[in-house]
Amino acid sequence: MAEIEGLVRALRLHETTLLDIQAGIEGLVRALREGDDAAKELAARRLVNLTFSFDAARVAIAEAGGIAALVQLLRDGSAEAKKEVAWALGNLAQENDERKVLIVEAGGIPPLVDLLRDGVGDAKRKGAWALHNLACDNAANRLLIAEAGGIEPLVELLRNSNAFRRLPERALRSLTSNNAANAVAIAVTLGIEALVQLARRGRVIVKRRCFVDNAALPAKRKAALVVSELLRACVPVEARSQVRDLIRSVIGPYL
């Protein structure tokens, strides 16, 4: 613990050189791997602070193997440590394709989704922040997050969040960017009315909370087809010929 605090003090000095920064970060990463629970938690918190400071620190964390160590702590660390790790990973992923790849390669998406499901309070918000940055401008990660089951807990977080709705909302918007399947999956999670909204306007707003915004024509078309199939499934086979024209007249404008 004392060693970590000393490293942090050294990193805060104005005359600190790049080599000092690298050495200090290497010590913090080592604490993530080898320290006890308290030391790991403190090291994660200090790394969060460094990810807010300047890009050289974020580069040094990645080069020191910090991303893999953070992801491992996200899997098996304490609840408090996981919260700090999610914040750090979100900052590391922000507007940096290389670090997004490192986080994904280290297996970071599934435990972030688990944090959304099982975390408490602020931990969920920080998990949403990390997933938003991983999904932003990265089509592959949007698919991986959806495949890991990330949509449903994000929807639940936005639905039930009062003070921190902005982050899950941004995460959902990132997931739907140029991804019709994710937009429809969000609407399906919310129900038939959300699907109809998506088909009509390319938006899904429930109780003044925006779940999907500005979805493109492919998403509208998919949503309309889902609504059409739902209607079809509700109509007995013997009656379908009688209502086919009605269904087409309702759904047609959205196809």
Q: With bands split at pLDDT 50, 70 and 90, how would you rate the model's confidence at 236?
A: confident
* Residue 232 within any structural domain of the chain: yes
* Residue 246 within any structural domain of the chain: yes
Top-confidence residue, 203 or 24: 203
pLDDT value for 117: 95
pTM of the predicted model, to two decimals?
A: 0.85
* Residue 197 within any structural domain of the chain: yes
pLDDT value for 13: 45
* Residue 111 within any structural domain of the chain: no
Inform me whether the pLDDT recorded for 255 exceeds 90. no
* Residue 59 within any structural domain of the chain: no
What's the pLDDT tens digit per position in 65-106? 999 999 999 999 999 999 999 999 999 999 999 999 999 999
Distance CA 72, CA 76 (A): 6
* Residue 203 within any structural domain of the chain: yes
pLDDT value for 226: 92
Q: With bands split at pLDDT 50, 70 and 90, how would you rate the model's confidence at 229?
A: confident
pLDDT value for 15: 44
Mean pLDDT, the chain, as a whole number? 88
Distances (CA, A) of 239 to 27, 226, 227, 234, 245: 72, 20, 18, 10, 12
Top-confidence residue, 234 or 253: 234
The proportion of the chain whose per-residue pLDDT surpasses 70, expressed as a percent, equals: 86
Q: Which residue has the tokens 């109809």?
A: 196
Q: Look at residues 40, 8, 36 and name the one whose alpha carbon lies nearest to residue 24.
A: 8
Give start and end residues of each alpha helix (H) in 136-255: 139-147, 151-160, 166-176, 180-190, 192-201, 217-234, 240-251
The domain total for the chain is 1
* Residue 87 within any structural domain of the chain: no
Q: Which residue has the tokens 């013997």?
A: 238
* Residue 65 within any structural domain of the chain: no
What's the pLDDT tens digit per position in 152-178? 999 999 988 776 788 999 999 999 999
SS3 210: strand
Domain ranges, residue 234: 188-255
What's the pLDDT tens digit per position in 7-56? 555 555 444 556 667 888 999 999 999 999 999 999 999 999 999 877 88
